[in-house]
Chains A and B, each alone.
Chain A
Amino acid sequence: MDVILYLLAASLVLGGGGLAVFLWSLRSGQYDDMEGAARRILFDDAPKR
């Protein structure tokens, strides 16, 4: 049953990684403008400078 230890560790690492990504995305303001984000993806990239 040692495998359970590895699995527990793996699930925690994955879950913790997800949490870290969420906190990062929150910190970088990605939830500030949901409406704009939804429309932005429809536009082409800005022309090259």
Chain B
Amino acid sequence: MTALVAMLDQVPAARVATACAHCGGPMADGGADQRFCCTGCAAAFATIQGMGLGDYYAKLTRDPAARRLRPEDGPRPDLTRAIRTDDDGKHTLVLAVDGLQCGACVWLIESMLSAVPGLARGRVNMTTRRLTLVWEGAAERAGEIVGRVEALGYRLVPFHPAALRAARDSAERQLLRALGVAAFGAGNVMLMSLGIWFGLAETMGPATRGLMHWVSALIAMPCIAYAGIPFFKSAWAALRHGRTNMDVPISVGVILVTVMSLAETIQGGAHAYFDSAAALLFFLLVGRVLDARARGVARETAEQLLALRDNQVSVRAADGTLRRQAADSVALGTEVLVGMGERIGVDGVVIQGDGQVDTSLVSGESLPRAASSGTQVFAGTMNLGAPLVVRTSATGDSTLLAECGRLIAAAEARRGRFVVLADRVARAYAPVVHVLALVTFISWYGFADAELNESLLTAAAVLIITCPCALALAVPAVQVIATGQLFRAGVLLKSATALERLAQVDTVVFDKTGTLTDPVPHLEGATDPAARHLAAELAANSRHPLCRALVAAVGEVVARQGVVEHAGQGLSLATDDGEVRLGSRAFCGVGTAAGDGPELWLARPGHDHVRFGFAEAARPATPEVLAALRGMGLRLHLLSGDRAAVVGRLAGTLGIDAWRGAATPAAKVAALEALAAEGRHVLMVGDGLNDAPSLAAAHVSATPAHAADISQSTADVVFPDKDLSPVVVLLRMARRARAVTRENIGFAIGYNALFVPLAMAGYVTPWLAAAAMSSSSLVVMANSLRVRKAGGGWT
């Protein structure tokens, strides 16, 4: 597809109309006078030209990974629940935008919205791919405004206000504010300090020095009090629970240094360390802000993926009318119509219709199950056959989802709190440092008969030198860069500790369906190419999964015009020779006996019937990925809910010795816990609803972007759908990050070993402390940049 889009971009639209001038997609029927693939695209093009925004097409750089800009008809999600109204009558609506190609789209949408009367604000956030609309007047205008953007070809999905994490925003802003204050304090105090340091060598009088110290104190103390809040809070929370973390030595150091410097200033002493304390907070906050931002973006992208899911269902009212409604707001007993190829949005019982349901995302089973009146169906499964009417059943304890939710909660409760490396280091570090400072004080005061003041100052100097600036940066600096590298590759790290846990992994457990194998079936066996091509031309008109698989197998296909879709049966096309049909056995007149697996038949006048069989296939590059993982010394397991025979066959093909089929969600959790009991650190990779509990139970978990909602929110890592190679990239990056982190910690400890004796001996002056601390922080940051080398290819 990438190559195709690139090729299409090079063809001038005016010369040959092989690509739609609006969406860039393939043309329906290659006519020379046509420039658009559909009327929607033609209308969008006309709208854009009519508003004088035709420059858009010149600025546009199509993103092959983004959705095509083709306007789609169809019911719109319910907007009213997502609108927030202020007291002064302003309405705010936040929507996820699907189809943003590049910055030009931001320009197009905003320019178009600027012409909408009464719209106070229409702004696209490119980082989070969200559109914020603020308008006055009637709340009902939302539909009209959203419709204008949708007419251009974008898909908009409202964010429910509750889903917007206002808390996250304020936490990040709080950190940024603290950073600004710390920068102000550190910069200005450093100006004073430089004056003092140079003045000491020259002829600065004690009065001038005292003045400089007092001004420093007045600037530094409020700044430290404010900028230190994030550290003080975290340290206090840890201490109250009887734990310690990296923020404890930071807080103790900063507070003691500030108090000592203040005492020194009051007494008119020569040394004050306000600059060190402020600079320390500044460096640490830089790390915190970057860290929070990197993870915030990853989390928002994950939320975006979930929001763009079509979780709307068609509700059938008593009078037979259909209405689209969010799946989570459907009342019990409501009748929901599920069309062919549509995902079933609710748990319920089939009351009408006869078809097949693909349960792979729920149970891991690869073959569709028959569903007829009375069959229980689950949210997340897909209807492959005729339209079904489902009566929503109790969403209480009896559903599969609830069962999985219980298992997840239990697994998470059993999984112990993971103590990050930085906190483990802090646990050993804090007591040592504080004891050293105490020993220094006692030695100077008790044995060397020094003044109380001088002894205290020397002890404070030890604390300043050991203040864990480099140590506290050692971990976040690496995390930020590694998270950013992975994000660029489309891999989202949702958990702060995921990277560290990934580095410990020695066993990888895979789910089968949708993880090792493609979630969509593949065309199997050889068929007559002409028949296959004709069938694909018909199939291109349908959204049925098998039709899509057929089209995918043939490659680039131009959809035939005039094809009629018979719901639940197949497609037909009237030609000069007679009717061509593509669909089920019965529809094509082959008989009613059940076939072996999913299949499509093609009936043409004057030809034999042709059968297209479908089967699951390993995802692209799976053997290479598994070989790479083995090369890293990892043990591989396969754990699936599918029938043992199927699982065994795939395990044999892929060379995985340790496999198990027909595993229920609880059995999967038990298997993972058995592995954990052997002392193994397991990475679980799975996508189904039935995998969600095991994702929670594993040491660390990853899930592809197409996974069930609950799996995606449970997993630590979400990676792009294309193939499994991100798993290798992920593990490589984690191991490299761990190696660099250890180097950083080693450096930080080495630096302390060098300077602590100097400090204890009383040789450290404020300028030496400031220089040593800044340089060690910079060295650690520079070393962390080396993590970048681990990016790129996975082979």
Contact = CB atoms under 8 A, between A and B. Distances in A.
A36 B125 contact: yes
A23 B177 CA distance: 7
Nearest to B113: A46
B188 A39 contact: no
Given A36-B103, A43-B107, A15 B188 contact: yes
A34 B59 CA distance: 20
B125 A33 contact: yes
Given A32-B125, A36-B126, A46-B114, A11 B52 contact: no
Contacts of B52: 47
Interface of B: 51-53, 55, 59, 102-104, 106-107, 110-111, 114-115, 124-128, 169, 173, 176-177, 180-181, 183-184, 187-188, 191, 208, 211, 215, 219
A11 B180 contact: no
Nearest to B173: A26
- Main secondary structure, interface of A, reads helix
Nearest to A18: B184
Across the A-B interface, give the 5 residue pairs with the lowest CB-CB distance, nearest first: A36-B126, A39-B103, A19-B184, A33-B125, A22-B180
Interface residues of A, number: 26
B58 to A, nearest CB: 12
Nearest to A14: B188
Given A36-B126, A42-B103, A49 B115 contact: yes
A31 interface: yes
A16 B185 CA distance: 9
Contacts of A47: 51-53, 111
A39 B114 contact: no
A3 to B, nearest CB: 12
Contact of A35 (B51, B111, B114, B127): B127
Contacts of B102: 39
Given A26-B173, A31-B176, A39-B103, A1 B127 contact: no
11 contacts: A4-B211, A16-B184, A19-B180, A22-B180, A22-B184, A35-B126, A36-B103, A36-B126, A43-B107, A46-B114, A47-B52
A10 B169 CA distance: 35
Nearest to B180: A22
A29 B127 CA distance: 13
A42 B110 CA distance: 14
B188 A12 contact: yes
Contacts of B183: 22
B103 A12 contact: no
Contact of A43 (B59, B127, B180, B211): B59
Contact of B103 (A31, A32, A34, A40): A40
Contact of A11 (B115, B177, B191): B191
A23 B226 CA distance: 14
Contacts of A12: 188, 215, 219
B110 A46 contact: yes
A18 to B, nearest CB: 7
A15 B103 contact: no
A11 B188 contact: yes
Contacts of B114: 46, 49
A42 B562 CA distance: 45
A42 B169 CA distance: 27
Contacts of B111: 46-47
A39 B63 CA distance: 15
Contacts of A19: 180-181, 184
Given A46-B110, A49-B114, 19 more contacts: A11-B188, A11-B191, A12-B188, A15-B184, A16-B184, A18-B184, A19-B180, A22-B180, A22-B184, A23-B180, A31-B176, A32-B127, A34-B127, A36-B103, A36-B125, A40-B107, A43-B103, A43-B104, A46-B111
Nearest to A33: B125
Contact of B106 (A8, A26, A34, A40): A40
A13 to B, nearest CB: 11
Contacts of A36: 103, 106, 124-127
A43 B56 CA distance: 10
Contacts of B176: 26, 31
A21 B354 CA distance: 66
A46 B181 CA distance: 36
A35 B52 CA distance: 26
Contacts of A44: 55
A47 B191 CA distance: 48
Contacts of A4: 208, 211
Contacts of A33: 125-128
A2 to B, nearest CB: 11
Contacts of B187: 15
A16 B358 CA distance: 64
B177 A39 contact: no
B126 A39 contact: yes
A1 B128 CA distance: 54
Contacts of A23: 177, 180
